[in-house]
Amino acid sequence: MKRERPLILVSNDDGITAPGIRTLVMLMKELGDVVVVAPDGPQSGMGHAITIGNTLRLYKTDVFDHWGVEAYKCSGTPADCIKLAKHHVLKDNTPDLVVSGINHGSNTSISVLYSGTMSAAIEAAIEGMPAIGFSLCDFDPDADFSHTHALVLKIARQALQNGIPKGTALNVNFPPRRDEEMKGVKICRQARAKWQEQFDERFDPNGRRYFWLAGNFVNYDKGEDNDEWAIANNWASLVPVQFDMTAHHAISEINENWSL
């Protein structure tokens, strides 16, 4: 039987009390019935990790009771949250849309591989559910999400009305709030860029050595059809991403040149 309103599952990687997920829950309530399953604390940079050697804990929480939204906090990763939501919380009540975020910081280019926000969306896509990860390219603790509202709603509505291609999730990044209004949405590719890591060597009070990961983001891409260009030029970027990581172009090359 068709639902009166779409069922929308919301998750993130910044934790269930983060400002970005509050914004996303508020917006998704305009479009459908919302259920939240999100980490109980920050899980940024966890990528697609899942919990297999430790216990997973899931507790109902009243964090969104004032909006009448059912919510659960999970001790695991963003991917764990989606698995628990589908197979335990919602059981056979498959969501019409899964949204993750709004992440506090950029998930453009190679960052999609490290992102817990996007791994929640990709896990949903693996499970056959339409999914979008939203991120704001602003690391300021007091970052303003308000300029993203209209486009978050527009993109989510389009996903509900028209669907998302099978085997893909959408990686949506918004530029930080600027004096000029955001120009709109660019459907584009992932930029060819990477993090150039540096490891800061330090010593704890007992003289034991440890390392702190640091470094700089390096963009090698000179094109104007990628997500880094879009953000730099005040567009929101929308990149369809896939979980099939087969390098199809390399199959024939290896067949031709290798003796196996």
Q: What confidence category does residue 67 fall into, taking pLDDT thresholds of 50, 70 and 90?
A: very high
For 45-49, the CB contacts below 8 A with 24+ separation are 45/114, 45/115, 45/116, 46/13, 46/77, 46/78, 46/79, 46/116, 46/119, 47/113, 47/114, 47/115, 47/116, 47/119, 48/79, 48/119, 48/122, 48/123, 49/77, 49/79, 49/119
- Please, what are the domains in the chain? 7-192+222-257 (3.40.1210.10)
Residue 13 is assigned to a ligand binding site: yes
Residue 14 is assigned to a ligand binding site: yes
Residue 107's pLDDT is 95
Percent of the chain, pLDDT > 90? Answer: 87
Percent of the chain, pLDDT > 70? Answer: 99
Average of per-residue pLDDT values in the chain: 94
Residue 103 is assigned to a ligand binding site: yes
Whether residue 1 is predicted with pLDDT greater than 90 in this model: the reply is no
Model confidence, pTM = 0.93
